[in-house]
Amino acid sequence: MGTDDKVAYIAALAGAGLTRIEAVSFVHPRLVPQMADAEQVMARVPRRDGLSYIGLIVNERGLERALDSGVDEVNVTVVATETLSRRNQRMSVAGALGSFAAVSARAHAAGLRVTATVGAAFGCPFEGEVPPGQVAAIVRRCAEAGADEIALADTIGVGVPADVRHLTEAVRAVTDLPLRFHFHNTRNTGYANALAAVEAGASALDASSGGIGGCPFAPAATGNIATEDLAYALRRSRIRTGADLRRLTEAAAFIGERLGSPVPALLGRAGDFPPP
C-alpha cells in the first residue's frame, strides 16, 4: 500500500478521536517491506496537542530511525520464548533484554515514552504454553531497565479470560507499572480477553482498525481485535473511550477498499446499536 493511503488512513483514525496511534514500524525493510516508508509516513501525519504517535522497534538501529522521524513514543518488543525471539528478532531473549535496556536509556534521554511489549506472553507457536512466571521475570527486567508501560501480547491468539487474570496476577507481583494488553482474535477470544483485562485493571488496550494485521513470523496469527468492535463493546460496558464509532467504521472501510478485501471487523456490517 502506498504512502499516501497510509497517511490518509492514519489521519482518519486521528479524526475518529484516537489519541495514541502506533503508526509505523522501524523494522528491517528486507524482512517487512510493507513498513519500509516509515519515515515518509511520519513526515506527513497530522499533528495536534494530545495526539501521540508510537513507533514499533526491535533494536537500536530501529530507535535511531524512530528518533529521526519524530515519534512521541517507542514500543519495544521482547519475546517471551527463545524460538520465536530468534525468528522474530534474530536474537535470544537475553540479547533482547540487553537491547531493551540500551534502547530505553537512549529513548528516555531523547524525551520519549517507552513501552516494553512482551510477545507470545500467552503462548508460543513453537514452544507451546508459556508459564506466567517466565513472563513475569521478563517484565521485571524491563521494569528495572526503565519501561514506562508494560504490554502483554497474545501474539497468536490462544488466551482466554482466565489466562488474562492469572498472567495479570503474576505480573502485578513484580511491578505496578501501567499494563497494556495486545490481543489477536485468532480463536475468537480476543474481545472476551480485552474485557477481562479491563476488569483486571488494564490502563490501555491495543486494537487494529478493521481487525487487520497479523505477525509475519508466527504461523497462523490473524489480525488484532478490531478497534471499532472493541470501542462498541467498551461503550456498551459504560467505559468511555472518546472514539467516534461512525468514523472508526469509515476508516476501516477505507483500508478494506485499499487492501482489496473486506476487513474482519463486524461493526461495519451489523451497524451500531441502538441505531443512530
- pLDDT category at 217 given cuts 50, 70, 90 is low
Q: Is 142 a catalytic residue?
A: no
Residue bearing the bigger pLDDT, 200 or 31: 200
Predicted confidence at residue 31, as pLDDT, reads 75
Q: What value does the mean pLDDT take over residues 246-271?
A: 96
Give yes or no for residue 29 having a pLDDT over 70. Answer: yes
Annotated catalytic residue within 38, 147, 215, 226: 215
Give the 3-state DSSP-derived string for the chain, with helices as H, strands as E and coil as C: CCHHHHHHHHHHHHHCCCCEEEEEECCCCCCCHHHCCHHHHHCCCCCCCCCEEEEEECCHHHHHHHHHHCCCEEEEEEECCHHHHHHHHCCCHHHHHHHHHHHHHHHHHCCCEEEEEEECCCCECCCECCCHHHHHHHHHHHHHCCCCEEEEEECCCCCCHHHHHHHHHHHHCCCCCCEEEEEECCCCCHHHHHHHHHHCCCCEECCEHHHCCCCCCCCCCCCECEHHHHHHHHHHCCCCCCCCHHHHHHHHHHHHHHHCCCCCCCHHHHCCCCCC
The structure's pTM equals: 0.95
140-195 per-position pLDDT tens digit = 999 999 999 999 999 999 999 999 999 999 999 999 999 999 999 999 999 999 99
Predicted confidence at residue 77, as pLDDT, reads 95
